[in-house]
Structure 1
Amino acid sequence: MRNESEKLDSEELMHLAMHAENHEQAISYLKRVLEMSDDNGKAYYLLGAIHAEIGMYERATEEMTRAVELEPDLPTAHFQLGLLHITSGRVTEAENAWRSLDELGDTDPLFLFKRGMLHLVNDEFDDCIKDLNQGIALNSQNEALNNDMRKVISKAEQVIKPASPSSELDKEESGSDGGHHILLAAYQRDDDTEH
């Protein structure tokens, strides 16, 4: 079977990677694409997305960085790169990665998501929730991203609920630092294997 698959070109391998049954298979296809053409920004983007999904955040950041260098017109890659930075506490790097999203305007979901996330790290929870909800309403193309944003909204709503004495105690005991704590709880996995 390996001999037959070696005859596949990079476009066919990309297609197979996007429809792979598991992460291992997709990673294998994408690595073969990059062996054929090391300047394929979309392959780096997909590889970075998979590595982020399995908790290999540093590797994912490197691959997303390479993707936006090669394909500067991939707004989703810019957004994902910013998310990787912001969930690692690198807000300045996230802002730099997201700068190109400003051109999309405030009716684009990615612009609204990035603005909402920046509100979050500044503990501006109401503005965060408003932007993320508006972005979700406009985003009909990426339900997985909408689900990630819903998790952030849920955590932000928990922070701004009128606090009962026991929830104040829970918040103090958890060591929460507002928006950054929410990002870690809502976006990163508990099974991080690489930071």
Structure 2
Amino acid sequence: MNTATAASFDEILQEALRLSQANDGPTAIKLFQEALAINPQSAATYCLLAAEYITLGQVAESEAAYANALMLAPEFHLARFQMGLLQFTSARVPVALLTWQPLLALSDENALKLFVMGFAHIARDDFEVAINYFERGIKVNADIPPLNTDIQRVIAEIKGLQDKSALTAADQANATSTIAPTADGSNEDEDANVHFLLSNYQQHEPLH
């Protein structure tokens, strides 16, 4: 880009960000698209576009934008994490785990890797282990504070479901009646609640 084109790109991008913060998603999306028409090699702009799409519930468009970001910048770890999270919360857990696989090569103290490990253990219904990974990730994540807020929300929801399950079990024990476990010893209702929580987490909260 020449100097004039670069200035135009920056101005459009700044206006798109302003509109995004003002909750004018449709107009922000149009401006992000205009910016990409000027600089189609901007992986960061594709990532911003993806985040804007998800605030409007446009899952397919968001995933496509994240995919474009990763095609341009395969080492864009945050875009990879967000794309996997979008897939995970859209009930496509195996696809999410495949998307996240390169993040497992990061340092053991990398926040994104720790968050991925947390979600991987949720997929196995290992909720205590998942919470441990999430809490470790929050401690080391100083670069993306909004992501910590999202993960803390997931932890709170899981703990709330665990507390509810414990109270239900106690009530059932007092009534000398229990819900039969599944073949692997898990409680189907609890598992369904957790997976429902995570699928709706994406729908009600923007992914940062």
TM-score when normalising by structure 2: 0.76
Match of 2:110 in 1: 108
Partners in 1 of 2:141 and 2:44 — Cα distance?
21
The match for 2:51 among 36, 49, 52 is 49
CA gap 1:42/1:108 in 2 versus in 1, 3 angstroms: same
CA gap 1:166/1:122 in 2 versus in 1, 3 angstroms: closer
Count of aligned pairs between the two proteins:
184
Counterpart residue type for residue 36 of structure 1: I
Counterpart residue type for residue 134 of structure 2: L
CA deviation after TM superposition for structure 1 residue 40, in Å: 2.3
Contact conserved, 1:109 with 1:135, CA < 8 A, in 2?
Answer: yes
Match of 2:182 in 1: none
Match of 1:122 in 2: 124
TM-score when normalising by structure 1: 0.81
CA deviation after TM superposition for structure 1 residue 179, in Å: 3.9
CA deviation after TM superposition for structure 1 residue 181, in Å: 2.2
Contact conserved, 2:54 with 2:62, CA < 8 A, in 1?
Answer: yes
CA deviation after TM superposition for structure 1 residue 34, in Å: 1.6
Q: Are 1:165 and 2:168 counterparts?
A: yes
The match for 1:80 among 79, 82, 104 is 82
Q: Are 1:187 and 2:202 counterparts?
A: yes
Match of 2:14 in 1: 15
Partners in 2 of 1:37 and 1:30 — Cα distance?
10
Counterpart residue type for residue 37 of structure 1: N
The match for 1:64 among 58, 63, 66 is 66
Contact conserved, 2:88 with 2:96, CA < 8 A, in 1?
Answer: yes
Aligned-CA RMSD value: 2.9
CA deviation after TM superposition for structure 1 residue 184, in Å: 1.9
For the pair shown, the structure with the greater C-alpha radius of gyration is 2
Unaligned runs of 5+ in 1: 1-5, 191-195
Unaligned runs of 5+ in 2: 173-178, 180-186
CA deviation after TM superposition for structure 1 residue 176, in Å: 5.1
Contact conserved, 1:121 with 1:178, CA < 8 A, in 2?
Answer: no
Contact conserved, 2:89 with 2:201, CA < 8 A, in 1?
Answer: no
